[in-house]
Amino acid sequence: MIATPHARKITVLGAAALATMLAATVLAAAEPAQAVDVQAGSAVPAVTYTFRTVDNNKDQGFNQLLGINNHGKIAGYYGSGAQGHKNKGYVLAPPYGQSNYRAENFPNSAQTQVTGLNNVGVTVGFFSGTNKANPAANAYFGFWAKNGRFHKIVFPAAKAPAGKSKPPVDQLLGINNAGEAVGFYLDRSRHSHGFLYSISTHKFVKIPLARSVNVTGTGINNKNAVVGFFNTATGKVKSFYITQGATTRVHTLAFPGADLTQALGVNDHGEVVGAYTIGPKTFGFTWTVAGHFHKINDPHGAGTTVVNGVNNAGDLVGFYTSSNGSTHGMLATP
């Protein structure tokens, strides 16, 4: 599914504070009194959205929108990644016409996805030097970029007990204004390990979640709240929302009745977005601690809607699949 924010004054934690937060999270995850398992239904009325299809005309059969910032700029890509149908990244600015697309691709790469962006000109994503028939045969590397300068990011896992997958897979999926990015890498068993990366200190910090087999970090806001998803010991896919306040809390999110729940983004108000599946159908969702879950279903879709990003105005971006099997970018505004 992956991939993988009218502003208030916010105090942003630095890299050292972030590491402290994550260290505290280990304790919170192991402390039942501080863990919150969220599976309840809605407690407040759902927001009404206006849906708009937003596609780059260079490929009207496959577009995905993956992030949106507080200025309304959108990160995304076109091309399915199948052999001969390469991923090509872009950043899109309002009013979202064809002339408002700016191509963004890692230099000399065969494929690039732009997965996230902040409010100060930094984008993140991942790229590959190949476009093989079997996508699992491609190596992928994370990157961050600003003002046309690209920086390759690889988690230093070669000496870790679980090693690194072959070919290697590293992805960055979100970034906040302080330059704290979130993503994951695959080990040699192709299990995912979520991490945070500071573009100023070049330091990596693993996202600790107790009793989880796979962890994928997908989003981070300007309060350093982190979201993503993981596998339980029984194989169930649930989501997490880690917050730092008087105490650090790990909220576990599972849409009621869903087969799996994936949190893919979060804004500064703590609104989490993502997708869930029930049988063969996939729907987007929004979630807040106060309001719980709300279903998002693009009326143009045919049983597949995914919400990847949300900004502070509550604008949603993602994609849907139409009845003819095409994938289209989705913008939903409240």
What are 259-311's pLDDT values in tens digits? Answer: 999 999 999 999 999 999 999 999 999 999 887 899 999 999 999 999 999 99
Q: Is the pLDDT of residue 153 over 70?
A: yes
Name which residue leads in pLDDT, 5 or 65: 65
Q: What backbone phi and psi angles, to 5 degrees, belong to 323?
A: -65, -20
Residue 3 has pLDDT above 90, yes or no: no
Which strand (E) or helix (H) includes residue 15?
Answer: helix 15-30
| Residue 141, strand partner residues | 127
pLDDT score recorded for residue 43: 60
Q: How far is CA 282 from the centre of its chain?
A: 16
Q: How far apart are CA 164 and CA 149, in angstroms?
A: 27
pLDDT digits (tens, 9 = 90+) for 85-118: 999 999 999 999 999 999 999 999 999 999 999 9
Report the distance separating Cα 276 and Cα 218, nearest Å: 15
pLDDT of 39 higher than 90 = no
pLDDT exceeds cutoff 80 at 38: no
Give the pLDDT of residue 37: 56
| pLDDT reading at 61 higher than 90 | yes
Q: Where are the domains of the chain?
A: 15-333
pLDDT for residue 45 is more than 90: no
Domain 15-333 has CATH 2.60.40.1120: no
Residue 245 has pLDDT above 70, yes or no: yes
The 10 Å Cβ neighbour count of residue 279 is: 8
